[in-house]
Amino acid sequence: MVVLPLMPYILGLDVSTTASKALLLRHDGKVAGTASAPHDHSMPHPLWSEQDPQDWWHATQTCIQDVLAASGTHPAWVVGVSLTGQMHGLVMLGKGGIVLRPAMLWNDGRSTAQCDRIRALIGLERLVKITGNDAFAGFTAPKVLWVRDHEPDVYRQVHQILLPKDYIRYCLSGTYATDKAGAGGTLLLDLAERDWSKEIIERLEIPLRWLPPTYEGTAVTGTVTRPAAEATGLVAGTPIFAGAGDQAAQAVGVGAVTPQTWALTLGTSGVVFAPCAQPRTAHQGRAHAFPHAVPRLWHIMGVMLSAAGSLAWYRDTVADGQNYNSIFSLANGVAPGSEGLVFLPYLTGERTPHADPHATGSFVGLTRRHTYAHLTRAVLEGVAFGLKDNLTFLQEAGLPPPVELRLSGGGAKSEVWRQILADVLGVDLIPANVTEGAALGAAIAASVGLRWWPDVSAACQSIVRTGEPTRPGANQIRYQALHSRFASLYQHLKPYFAATHP
């Protein structure tokens, strides 16, 4: 029996750090439903961060089945699947797609020595000229070298290297592929050419055959296989689109698809994302420059590793698991500056602008007069100051200021935190009213591939909705001085950070 669709749907899948997520986008641009299933996360040694790729696949099966059931969507109505997910991770597969070791994640900082070797082999200037980036411990290429150095038995078995979302693509389609935006985060892509750099790959002695073909986000990369259909409930033969790495997909999901509109994401990590009409790089590659999910567009972004992740740590370890509304209410009762208390949000090292995996989180200026409420506000302010560092760094790279700054992410739901951010950044913040922005962005890319809209910009204009802006208030001037104090602390503490990681 053929079940005719009431309306065609696209399924956006997001393999994030904390969960796999599914979103159904209808042909009229409305979200029909979302679902998620959590992942475990392992940090077996200092600086290590790993996950089992099989956990992603099991969670993906669950959230696909859940979103179809909860929305009453027949699988035959799903006309396309698109993927997004955490960037920079390393999945190593042997022959037959066997997972050889736990995936090393974006916030894994063990490969500092390999980053130094990459700079020595290629030269920093040449590395930035080709890839747009310096070597960061979180990127994929240094992780590959780390495995070669420390796990030679694993390295000898490698048949394919994939990013996290592309492992799910393989599970769904049996094909190896990746998107160009996500590939940019490996340190193996030629930024201007939007494809693998043979020079970099040869200098690092990584076999090119290990890397999957790259595709623009709107392109088809394969179809759902019969075994995957049986595992997920989807229909065999459903096309699978390239999608994008999570930050480029999130930018599409909030409508940051022109150089005039930037995106600020307050998620586990914090990101300031600036689209560019041509490849742009920061001084010494200290901000990340990758292709955008939008064809013929690039982006440069600043990334802090522990944004809302800092608040999650604080809730779980200091606030004893209190709900976030109570935490925000406490912070709102404390004056700006937290009476001299400063929080440095470097809980998993820092990416931009310091590029220091050995940096650690700190409370500075504690006295007996400080209370639990002061600690709470200091965490919110410290994250805002870190994002200010990134916004300033991008503007110092020569980018014109944005006409709009779109705000999204779990932390953006807090009115208190939004106001702190607006005051610290000194700009209007326009909330993007989206659910699971990265999954939505992936689905939007597929909708263009299916010719629902002529291009990504037109699709975003039809789908993305924004709310009332949060504007800087009376505390803006005070926060300018407080940020200067925050910014000076890293340089003062850097020798201590280095000494704790000999």
State the pLDDT confidence band at 7, using cuts at 50, 70 and 90: confident
Q: Are 49 and 186 within one domain?
A: yes
Q: Are 383 and 457 within one domain?
A: no
Has residue 10 got a pLDDT over 50? Answer: yes
* Phi/psi at 233 (5° precision): 95, -5
Domains: count for the chain: 2
Q: Does some domain include residue 100?
A: yes
Task: Work out the burial of residue 58: count CB atoms within 10 Å of its CB; fewer than 13 is exposed, 13-18 middle, 19 or more buried.
Answer: middle
Task: Using only the alpha carbons of the chain, give its radius of gyration.
Answer: 22
Q: Are 423 and 440 within one domain?
A: no
Has residue 1 got a pLDDT over 80? Answer: no
What's the gap between Cα 202 and its chain centre?
Answer: 28
- Provide the strand spans (E) within 146-238: 160-162, 178-179, 189-190, 195-196, 214-215, 220-223
Has residue 251 got a pLDDT over 70? Answer: yes
Q: Does some domain include residue 269?
A: no
- Domain range for 30 is 9-255+433-463
Q: Does some domain include residue 277?
A: no
Each residue of 352-370: b (16+ CB within 10 Å) or e? bbbbbbbbbbbbbbeeeeb
Catalytic residue set:
246
Q: Which two tokens stand for residue 476?
A: 């803006």
Q: Looking at residues 214-229, what average pLDDT do you find?
A: 98
Q: Are 408 and 459 within one domain?
A: no
Q: What does the angle CA 185 – CA 187 – CA 191 come to, to the nearest 5 degrees?
A: 80
Q: Are 27 and 93 within one domain?
A: yes
266-316 pLDDT, tens digit per residue, is: 988 899 999 999 999 988 888 999 999 999 999 999 999 999 999 999 999
CATH of residue 381: 3.30.420.40
Q: Does some domain include residue 416?
A: yes
Residue-level pLDDT at 3: 54
State the pLDDT confidence band at 5, using cuts at 50, 70 and 90: low
- Provide the strand spans (E) within 419-490: 430-431
Q: Does some domain include residue 285?
A: no
Contacts of 283 (CB under 8 A, 6+ apart): 396, 397
235-246 pLDDT, tens digit per residue, is: 999 999 999 999
Q: Which two tokens stand for residue 248?
A: 């480029």
Q: Are 438 and 380 within one domain?
A: no
Q: Are 132 and 159 within one domain?
A: yes
Contacts of 365 (CB under 8 A, 6+ apart): 340, 341, 342
State the pLDDT confidence band at 436, using cuts at 50, 70 and 90: confident
Q: Are 341 and 193 within one domain?
A: no
Q: Does some domain include residue 279?
A: no
Dihedral angle of Cα 35, 37, 38, 40, to the nearest 10 degrees: -150
Q: Looking at residues 416-444, what average pLDDT do you find?
A: 94
Q: Are 239 and 325 within one domain?
A: no
Stretch (H or E) spanning 85: strand 78-85
Q: Does some domain include residue 45?
A: yes
Residue-level pLDDT at 397: 83
7 versus 153: which is more confidently predicted?
Answer: 153
For residues 10 and 25, the answer to whether their CB atoms sit within 8 Å is yes
Q: Are 477 and 459 within one domain?
A: no
Distinct helix (H) and strand (E) counts, the chain: 17, 22
Q: Are 214 and 332 within one domain?
A: no
Q: Looking at residues 163-189, what average pLDDT do you find?
A: 98
Computed from CA positions of residues 375, 388, 104, 232, in that sequence, does the dihedral angle turn out positive or negative?
A: positive
For residue 277, the tally of other CB atoms under 10 A from its CB is 11
Helix (H, G, I), strand (E, B) or coil at 309: helix
Q: Are 102 and 182 within one domain?
A: yes
Q: Does some domain include residue 414?
A: yes
104-155 pLDDT, tens digit per residue, is: 999 899 999 999 999 999 999 999 999 999 999 999 999 999 999 999 999 9
State the pLDDT confidence band at 4, using cuts at 50, 70 and 90: low
